[in-house]
Structure 1
């Protein structure tokens, strides 16, 4: 655990969260955690509800299991086993695995799967027999649950995803949080989630697909001058719109106070080492240090870049008992709300990730993979184009055409 935070209101020290003015929360840097800067949003403008919990403190999380894995994935895809098949759905992200049950993975397979998810962003499975408890057990192997245990049972929480049964455009008239837009789960926390897993158990005959976009890809496709500019910026990720919408539209009383947390615009993934464009229109409100006009215009530009990145997107059509396992540190996602008034329901589990950091000398995925290809060190974690593509005679073009 980190040492206690320093709280201030209007620049003056305080020992509690203020309900009428923003409370600044500063956690100093320690040997185990970077400094964390947050703002607790005042409650009074949002309603009379007082959440039972305060703001979640930053914590040290277990070492990512992917760091212990063999990048050639010999246990996940054993030589000579023709039943387990892998299909990379796009060059940038998304892999479908068939012939493998998540309920029966060995520890070495779990580690290799974590590494593959970190590289490919999201991995899909169909026809899974995994139960809700097994789903939770699997994620307990990977780390700390993102939400607190159920107070009655003491068991870690699973979340039932019951999607909107109405046209989301009409809902947006009074629902402030853009729930149908791209987001990374709970990116406003000091420890945003690393892995999430969703298993769909009920869905309409058609519709309800989910889209994922690679943060590796949206960073590497920015122009060099823009990469250099955003590398040093930070952005405020806020739960205020979500809190307001859940409280005042859904009528559910949130347990956590609304909070804003300052995170780097470009993060370095702790497993792959690749740079990530760490922005999502679901939770990011403004760029720190810029005036409102500058921040809004820059976010407009970057969100347009993200929303038009068809070359960095994968769209998955769900079937009953399909599973998606994704890395919130590397991708954002959005559901497609095109099936009202039918139902779509699933079970999600999530774990806490590291406090996001920006490592100045880290590189983009494109730069890293160009080096891997030139050195002849392509491994199973890499995409099918690298593993199977014919690059003969194109060595000089690799840095720009990869």
Structure 2
């Protein structure tokens, strides 16, 4: 995306009222004397809500490419030619300028996976080459890191169900959003209800409002380290149910796009998980999808989860904030971070349109060896 496309005339997008979104047809007649509207450059990547149905996801063997990078004599050599590499915070996040992600070879992509796992979050600026290579390239990129997830309810570009889209403008939203809360901040790890939730994730905005719409991130590794050793030892014995039912009902009630392509699932995951490459231990609960701790009374489960959610919400010293510039690509590791959109721009007419490439990873590994993950 060039620097002239982040704040563009998006009227053809904002004025779309139907779920079947499309580019403006230049052959359509225009009122006499009225200048033709500019066609939206990324109209081919607008949300489409197909009626396709998908069977339940089958387990698959995931091999994290970060393992290969561990064998490299310098697993950060892909950054050697960068113009600038800065840590966003000591706990979380690195910002890079001067590296073209689209030109990374297989070895460089492996190293990237390891660095994202170690830092949790990486922000790459000036990535117009990557963004403008289009959806076929996005799929090729994502498959290096795992099996691509097809979201059960979100919109995707027509013909590319593996690409998850976010879209909101001044008139409509196709996002899974909370309306009856005093805040739009909802910390989550993407689709944590799946048996094999995502690992390394790639996300970028095609169009952004001139201000607002930042993305917030928090380190679940750092959050865990802030807790007392005795409490962490207890948490490692626990497992929790993550559910996609509420998200599916949101769509079945006519929101987002009204489509549920795969029956919602619930799965049990450890409350504390271990990263397969770095060995880092991280909290693995989130307000959006975690529902209860298995084996505890309701009040006990609610008390522990409320404490952990409050800790995640309020610990600004574990958090980083990404402000979107033109041609920015953000990568994070869903296994060791949580994030939230910031919908502070909803009163503006401007669109926020983004695409997510979401490879699945392994089933979460308990930090406590031998923990039984059956319900």
TM norm structure 2: 0.75
Q: What is the CA–CA distance in structure 2 between the aligned matches of 1:72 and 1:152, rounded to whole Å?
A: 38
Residues 268/165 of structure 1: CA separation in 2 closer, same or farther (3 Å cut): farther
Give 2:267's aligned residue: 261
Give the counterpart of 1:142 among 139, 145, 149: 145
Matched, 1:310 2:296: no
Aligned length: 305
Question: 1:10 aligns to what?
Answer: none
* 1:152-190 alpha-carbon deviations (Å, 9 max, x no partner): 99766212211475799xx74579xx9840111110000
Q: Look up the SS of the partner of 2:232 in the other structure.
A: helix
CA distance in 2, matches of 1:190, 1:179: 27
Going from structure 1 to structure 2, the CA distance change for 1:71 and 1:272 (only over 3 Å counts) comes to farther
Deviations 1:92-111 (A, max 9, x none): 11001110011111211111
Shift of 1:141: 1.6
Q: 1:151 to 1:218 in 2, by over 3 A?
A: closer
CA–CA distance in 2 between the matches of 1:100 and 1:268? 30
Show the counterpart of 2:111: 112
Decide whether aligned partners of structure 1 residues 71 and 134 sit closer, same or farther in structure 2, where only a CA change above 3 A counts: farther
> Tell me, what secondary structure is at the counterpart of 1:351?
coil
Aligned residue in 2 for 1:243: 248
Note the C-alpha offset of 1:223: 1.0
Deviation, structure 1 residue 60? 1.6
Cα distance between partner residues in 2 of 1:289 and 1:164? 43
Give, in angstroms, the shift of residue 243 of structure 1.
0.7
CA distance in structure 1 between the aligned counterparts of 2:179 and 2:76, rounded to whole angstroms: 51
The answer (yes or no) to whether the contact 1:179–1:282 under 8 Å persists in 2 is no
Distance 1:223 1:152 in 2: 46
1:348 is matched with which residue?
Answer: 356
After superposition, the Cα gap between the structure-2 partners of 1:172 and 1:348, relative to the gap in structure 1 and judged at 3 Å, is: closer
Distance 1:73 1:152 in 2: 35
For residues 219-277 of structure 1, give each alpha carbon's deviation from its aligned partner in whole angstroms, at most 9, with x where no partner exists.
11111121011111000000111111122141512111111100000001111101110
Q: Which runs of 5+ in 1 are unaligned?
A: 1-49, 363-402
Alpha-carbon offset, residue 135 of structure 1: 2.6
* Aligned counterpart, 1:122: 121
User: 2:287 corresponds to which residue?
Assistant: 281
Partner of 1:58: 59
Runs (4+) of structure 1 exceeding 4 A deviation are: 148-156, 164-168
Which residue matches 2:299?
293
Structure 1 residues 53, 156: CA separation in 2 closer, same or farther (over 3 Å shift)? closer
Describe the SS at the equivalent of 1:134: helix
Closer, same or farther in 2 for the Cα pair 1:172/1:335, shift >3 Å?
closer
| In 2: Cα distance, 1:152 partner to 1:314 partner | 30
Contact 1:136/1:156, CA 8 A, preserved across alignment: no
The answer on whether the counterparts of 2:184 and 2:343 sit within 8 Å (CA) in structure 1 is no
**1:102 corresponds to which residue?**
101
How far the C-alpha of 1:320 sits from its partner, in A, is: 2.0
CA contact under 8 A between 1:52 and 1:256: conserved in structure 2? yes
Partners of 1:253 and 1:204 lie apart in 2 by: 27
Q: RMSD of the alignment, in Å?
A: 2.8
> TM-score of the superposition, structure 1-length normalised?
0.70
Q: What SS does the aligned partner of 1:142 have?
A: coil
Q: Given that residues 126 and 326 in structure 2 are in contact (C-alpha distance below 8 angstroms), is that contact kept between their aligned partners in structure 1? A: yes
Tell me, yes or no, if the aligned pair for 1:93 and 1:314 is still in contact at 8 Å: yes
The correspondence for 2:333, drawn from 327, 335, 343, is 327
